């Protein structure tokens, strides 16, 4: 749930998980909604696969529970929007920024409905996906210290020891990007699609109105497409132009086509900057000599079955970075 915690701090400045929760009742309400939502997101509904169940009304209670959950989430979000609107001083949160646009651009469509929608997209689609990917990436790096070392050398060479990586450095850090490409696991089945017309996929006829699940996890491990697919090898992305052009068709962490992830660019940026800063700023170590367990757990995004536990120690660069930050505060 780290992603939802970070997300809530970003969108509303609230902590709903951990030991620094301010309003336990409100936090509990939010945690309950998220828990229920995640449980539906990873469950199978018989009527989706055998329409007979829909005809005989088996999905009735499921649909009303989903509607009820939607209403509770909507009321919760409206409460947050109203609370921020009433505050005398605006804070640096997504809701505050959107409310100030609602005021300054009344003719544009920053309605409460749109604000709630944008906040939910950031929260549900944008946070856990990225934080889960960073956790997997760190776990991979700790199991492959030579790769961590190579990433640190790249950062030292192109960014240096005086400051943390920023947006302009990205193009100079292909190895860091390759580590992220080699890591992706957050959306193993993408998001279910629904065929709007009869079509063919991979030689199979898909009639109109079929739920199509894409097993990106299996595509990313297909030995006919990838050499030694089960090994963690960021170098596999150091390819020539022909192979580079094929990449979007076999590396699909964000899906492909019209309904692919609109947040892909933002996600790549955030993950590159976060992972880069974590490597530059801290020296990471495993808590034991054992390899980190890479078993996959269950969830809306694919978490580690056993959360990553590590130790870290500040690198000299943190002295420079913190000094600059304190001066600016
Ligand atoms: C590691 C990070 C992320 C991964 C792996 C990821 C992955 C995906 C995938 C696989 C889909 C479905 C695509 C399909 O089925 O073809 C999707 C959809 C979506 N993502 Fe992301 N995503 C990430 C981050 C983000 C961020 C940061 C945002 C927004 C700030 C975002 C917003 C969305 C939205 C709104 C959709 C639905 C698009 C639609 O239905 O048309 N995602 N994402």
Kindly report, residue by residue over 267-293, the tens digit of the pLDDT.
999 999 999 999 999 999 999 999 999
Q: Is the pLDDT of residue 139 over 90?
A: yes
pLDDT surpasses 70 at 329: no
Q: Using CA positions, which residue lies closest to atom 21 of ligand 1? A: 261
Q: Give the per-residue pLDDT at 281.
A: 95
The pLDDT of residue 266 is 92
- Whole-number pLDDT of residue 314: 92
The separation between CA 15 and the C-alpha centre of its own chain, rounded to angstroms, equals: 18
The domain spans of the chain are 1-110, 126-187+220-329
Query: What spacing in Å lies between the alpha carbon of 186 and ligand 1's midpoint?
Result: 10
pLDDT in tens, 149-160: 999 999 999 999
Asked whether 276 lines ligand 1 (CB < 6 A), one says no
Please state the atom number of ligand 1 nearest to the C-alpha of residue 191: 15
Gap from CA of 264 to ligand 1 centroid (Å): 7
Beta 199-201 vs 204-206: how paired, if at all?
A: antiparallel
What is the rounded distance in angstroms from the CA atom of residue 181 to the CA atom of residue 248? 11
Q: b/e string for 101-113 if b means 16 or more Cβ within 10 A?
A: ebeeeeeeebebe
The CA distance from 10 to 21, in Å, is 15
Tens digit of each residue's pLDDT (9 = 90 or more) over 225-273: 999 999 999 999 998 888 888 888 899 999 998 899 999 999 999 999 9
The whole-model pTM stands at 0.87
Confidence of residue 185 (pLDDT cuts 50, 70, 90): confident
Please state the ipTM of this predicted complex.
0.99
The pair of three-digit structure tokens given for residue 21, joined into one six-digit string: 């929760």
User: Do residues 187 and 216 make contact, with C-beta atoms less than 8 angstroms apart?
Assistant: yes
Instruction: Quickly tell me which residue has 């088996």 as its tokens.
Output: 58
- Arch. (CATH architecture) of 126-187+220-329: Orthogonal Bundle (1.10)
Spacing, Cα 130 to ligand 1 middle (Å): 10
**188 and 178 in contact (C-beta within 8 Å)?**
no
Pocket test of ligand 1: the residue of 263, 266, 271, 299 to mutate, having most ligand atoms within 8 Å of its CB, is: 263
Question: In which region does residue 304 sit, left (phi positive, over 0), alpha (psi from -120 to 50) or beta (all else)?
Answer: beta
The pLDDT of residue 289 is 94
Query: In 121-262, where does DSSP find H-type helix?
Result: 128-143, 145-158, 174-183, 216-219, 241-250
Closest protein CA for atom 27 of ligand 1: 126
Look at residue 322 and tell me whether its pLDDT is greater than 60. Answer: yes
Sign of CA dihedral 7, 8, 14, 16: negative
> Two tokens at 100?
């100030």
Range from 55-64, 196-205, 307-316 carrying the lowest mean pLDDT: 55-64
Centroid of ligand 1 to alpha carbon of 261 (angstroms): 4
Phi, psi of 317 (to 5 degrees): -55, -30
- Ligand 1 centre to CA of 10 (Å) is 18
Determine which residue's CA is closest to atom 1 belonging to ligand 1: 130
Helix (H, G, I), strand (E, B) or coil at 104: helix
């Amino acid at each position: 749930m780290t992603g939802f915690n970070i997300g809530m701090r970003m969108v509303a400045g609230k902590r709903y998980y951990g030991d620094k929760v301010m309003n336990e009742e409100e936090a509990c309400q939010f945690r309950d909604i998220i828990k229920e939502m995640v449980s539906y997101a990873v469950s199978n509904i018989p009527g989706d696969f055998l329409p007979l169940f829909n005809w005989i009304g088996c999905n009735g209670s499921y649909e009303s529970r989903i509607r009820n959950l939607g209403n509770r989430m909507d009321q919760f979000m409206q409460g947050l929007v109203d609370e921020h609107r009433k505050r005398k001083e605006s804070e640096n949160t997504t809701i505050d920024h959107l409310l100030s646009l609602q005021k300054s651009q009344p003719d544009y469509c920053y309605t409460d409905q749109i604000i709630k929608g944008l906040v939910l997209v950031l929260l549900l689609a944008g946070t856990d996906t990225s934080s889960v990917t960073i956790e997997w990436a760190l776990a991979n790096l700790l199991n492959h210290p030579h790769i961590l070392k190579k990433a640190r050398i790249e950062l030292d060479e192109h960014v240096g020891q005086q400051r943390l990586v920023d947006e302009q450095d990205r193009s100079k850090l292909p190895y860091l990007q390759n580590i992220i490409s080699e890591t992706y696991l957050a959306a193993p089945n993408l998001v279910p699609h629904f065929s709007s017309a009869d079509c063919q996929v991979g030689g199979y006829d898909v009639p109109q109105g079929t739920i199509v699940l894409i097993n990106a996890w299996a595509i990313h491990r297909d030995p006919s497409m990838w050499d030694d697919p089960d090994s963690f090898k960021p170098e596999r992305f150091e390819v020539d132009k022909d192979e580079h052009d094929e990449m979007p068709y076999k590396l699909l962490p964000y899906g492909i086509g019209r309904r692919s992830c609109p947040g892909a660019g933002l996600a790549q940026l955030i993950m590159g900057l976060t992972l880069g800063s974590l490597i530059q700023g801290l020296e990471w170590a495993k808590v034991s000599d054992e390899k980190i367990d890479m078993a996959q757990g269950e969830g809306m995004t694919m978490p580690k079955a056993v959360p990553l536990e590590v130790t870290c120690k500040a690198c000299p660069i943190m002295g420079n970075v913190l000094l600059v930050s304190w001066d600016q505060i």
